[in-house]
Amino acid sequence: MSVINELYRHFKQAIGITTDSRNVETGSIFFALKGEHFDGNKYASEALEKGASIAVVDDKEYATGPGCFLVEDALKTLQELATFHRKKLDIHVIGLTGTNGKTTSKELIRQVLSTKYKTYATSGNLNNHIGVPLTILSIENDIEIAVVEMGANHVGEIAQLCQIAQPTLGLITNIGKAHLEGFGSYEGVIRAKSELYDYLLSSEGKAYVHYNDELLMKLASRLTKETYGSDNKADVHASIIASLLFLEVKWNTQIIKTQLYGDYNFENVMAAVCTGISFGIDPLDISAAIASYIPVNNRSQLVKSSSNTIIMDAYNANPSSMLAAIRHFRTGDAERKTLILGDMLELGTTSPQEHQSILDEIRNKFEMVILVGPEFLALGDKDFLAFENTLQAAEWIRSHPIRNACILLKGSRGIALEKLTDYL
């Protein structure tokens, strides 16, 4: 019996898989993965003591006693096990990637598909070379459709994830400037994200494509596809009728009143509509599902404090998403518009010029602007308040209270702008 076949036998009897010994449950399988600053092999015995059925290790030193399952490479084995499991699942898998909007689109699509089908979707941000295998291994036999989010920060990663998830359908939300440090250039981002289309083309899959996005339409030119957007030529088309606070969309005879902030969420909504139509879901159910979705985790959230209205969009940021958020915010009718912007991380050598472009965009256009992070601070622009970190920014806000303002918080997750909400 091969290693994967034997391991799969254990997997079918287990209650789940974990790579964190702190989360071991009785009857689960523990994979001892290694990272830059940790070695899961050291926690194998602890995992077994907590009730793990087996601990998959790749270091002989820790493969002692019953329950240890020694392999050459624990990560590679996890990926091979997920690939093996995927091949046994006769279901549609929607592979989803893009620079912005991945998680919002994923959750909207899950919400829509769940009205008719037993649907599973990526949990949290499990979208990398470890997260995707864990997602696939979490798909149970009664699932009819899986929505698998795939992230990447270097060329070749999406291609690898496609070999594991084996999507039958795919969606690239958009392609913008992000993770330039890993991709090397915007062209590198395009190559990396389009690996999903390459896989779908080779496997005769189908893509959902934003018709208004010329780049995506060009990249998907040879693919079987269904299109969505605001253009009447799109297979599924609609229009924005309001977006000053919550986005409202007119689709055929229906008005979809979302709980999403910003017109830049239009394409995420339409991706979910297009997917729902593709799977034969009643339009009324599609509209109701989208209208009931409430964003969480600092993604396009509208929060009212005792003093201000706060738009929380601080889970992630890159030049394209930052500009979209700023430009939409500027069109709103709030009287006292305040921007609190955090650094955009992982931009590599382009970081100074990209941050300068943001400052050029916002100069003299808002009641108040507060910048947080070393990248913005290093520019030394005297037109703006700039702080090294949220702690310093919070101290300033505490002594200079902001009242009766509409505030947009936008920045990369690593800046942790959400820490400022207690002072707003």
Per the CB < 8 A criterion, the answer to whether 274 and 227 are in contact is yes
Instruction: From residue 204, give the alpha-carbon distance in Å to each of 93, 158, 190, 207, 294.
Output: 13, 17, 21, 10, 35
- Mean pLDDT across the stretch 368-388? 94
40 and 60 belong to one structural domain: yes
pLDDT at 173 over 80: yes
| Nearest CA among 102, 129, 96, 95 for reference residue 316 | 102
Task: Look at the chain and report how many structural domains it folds into.
Answer: 3
Q: Indicate which CATH number applies to the domain containing 314.
A: 3.90.190.20
| Nearest CA among 85, 107, 53, 60 for reference residue 269 | 107
Domain, as residue range, for 402: 301-423
- Mean pLDDT across the stretch 343-364? 92
pLDDT at 369 over 90: yes
196 and 313 belong to one structural domain: no
Could you tell me if residue 78 is inside a domain? Answer: no
Q: DSSP class of residue 34?
A: B
pLDDT tens profile 230-239: 999 999 999 9
Could you tell me if residue 83 is inside a domain? Answer: no
Q: What's the pTM?
A: 0.85
pLDDT tens profile 275-313: 999 999 999 999 999 999 988 766 777 888 888 999 988
pLDDT value, residue 124: 86
Q: Indicate which CATH number applies to the domain containing 34.
A: 3.40.1390.10
Could you tell me if residue 365 is inside a domain? Answer: yes
pLDDT tens profile 319-341: 988 998 899 888 877 778 999 99
252 and 177 belong to one structural domain: yes
| Nearest CA among 209, 267, 222 for reference residue 240 | 267
102 and 120 belong to one structural domain: yes
68 and 94 belong to one structural domain: no
103 and 141 belong to one structural domain: yes
> With b meaning 16 or more CB within 10 Å and e meaning fewer, what string describes 61-94?
ebbeeebbbebeebbebbbbbbbbbbeeeebbbb
Q: How far apart are CA 53 and CA 49, in angstroms?
A: 10
Could you tell me if residue 240 is inside a domain? Answer: yes
175 and 276 belong to one structural domain: yes
> Exposed/middle/buried for 246, CB within 10 Å: 0-12, 13-18, 19+?
middle
Q: Where are the beta strands (DSSP E) in 233-353?
A: 236-237, 239-242, 246-251, 254-261, 301-304, 309-313, 337-342
